[in-house]
Amino acid sequence: MAPGWIGAVVSAWLVTTLVALALVVYALGPLLQAGDQRKALVEIRGDIQTALGASQSLFGATPPVKPVEFGSPVAVLEIPSLKLQQVVLEGVSSGETASGPGHVPGTAGLGQPGNAAVVGRNSGYGASFGSLGDLGQGDEIVVATPQGKSVYRVTGTATRALDEAADYGKTADDRLTLVTSASWWPLASEEATVVTAVLEGRPFKPIPQNGRADAQDGRTGDDGAWAGLVLAFGGFVLAAAGATFLYRRWRPVSTYVITGPVLLATAALSALALWRLFPAWA
């Protein structure tokens, strides 16, 4: 087997892998995110209806005694000027922000006293916060939770390095902090686009919130994705080798029919696992 032919095959499969990565994240990713958002919207609407019914009962609504589980919907976020509506999930791991903006654990609940922080993606999986930098002072942000509706007004938009102590820390006022990467580049983790908004009116009663680990800031990936990546990419390499072998011995059409679905499935799984290693706000 000629070295030149081997190099050409390896180069072709490398290009195929990169194209699969881009297609999964920027074409398939938005579809997956939209599906997750629909499911989350149904769930949060049910929670809101249940809370509304309980509040009108004789005994009133029973306040939660423990924080919501990671990955569960906590609020519906609307930004009229951006024509944006997203269900906010609890947590900011790569897996959670692939489904929608994530509430930063350890910060205040949305609509509650203090600083509530939310992280969303800039470019991948539907780019829920891709237009965050277009917000201007005075723009309205509406948040709906099982406790009710809250309205925030934007007070500032900045592009700078993320300051965890200031952006995720306690504040004297009741505010909402929205954060995303300042770059479309998947590996960017230095600069952030940060929007701050102040609550209009009185906040709702605080409820228990999850604590935050150091890595839960949106700038890190999910190390737990390595195992899935090794398995999926190993399957892709084996399928690619098998397809190359069969292509040299069978008819091309037969080879495509047999190996095509396997290659597509393993390439998609590899791309999804790889993207989870990138910063969660990418």
**Same-domain check for residues 155 and 78:** yes
DSSP 60: -
Structure tokens given for 46: 């049910």
For 143, residues 6+ apart whose C-beta sits below 8 A from its C-beta are 75, 76, 77, 78, 110, 111, 149, 150, 151, 152, 176
Overall domain count for the chain? 2
Whole-angstrom distance, CA of residue 75 vs CA of residue 88 = 5
- Is 207 part of a structural domain of the chain? no
Whole-angstrom distance, CA of residue 60 vs CA of residue 52 = 9
- Is 216 part of a structural domain of the chain? no
Residue type, 148: G
- Is 281 part of a structural domain of the chain? no
**Same-domain check for residues 238 and 131:** no
pLDDT in tens, the chain (282 residues): 566 666 776 676 677 767 777 777 778 889 999 999 999 999 999 999 998 887 776 566 677 779 999 999 999 999 999 999 999 999 999 999 999 999 999 999 999 999 999 999 999 899 999 999 999 999 999 999 999 999 999 999 999 999 999 999 999 999 999 999 999 998 898 899 999 999 999 999 999 999 877 678 899 888 888 888 888 888 877 877 777 776 667 766 666 666 667 777 887 788 788 888 889 998
- Is 282 part of a structural domain of the chain? no
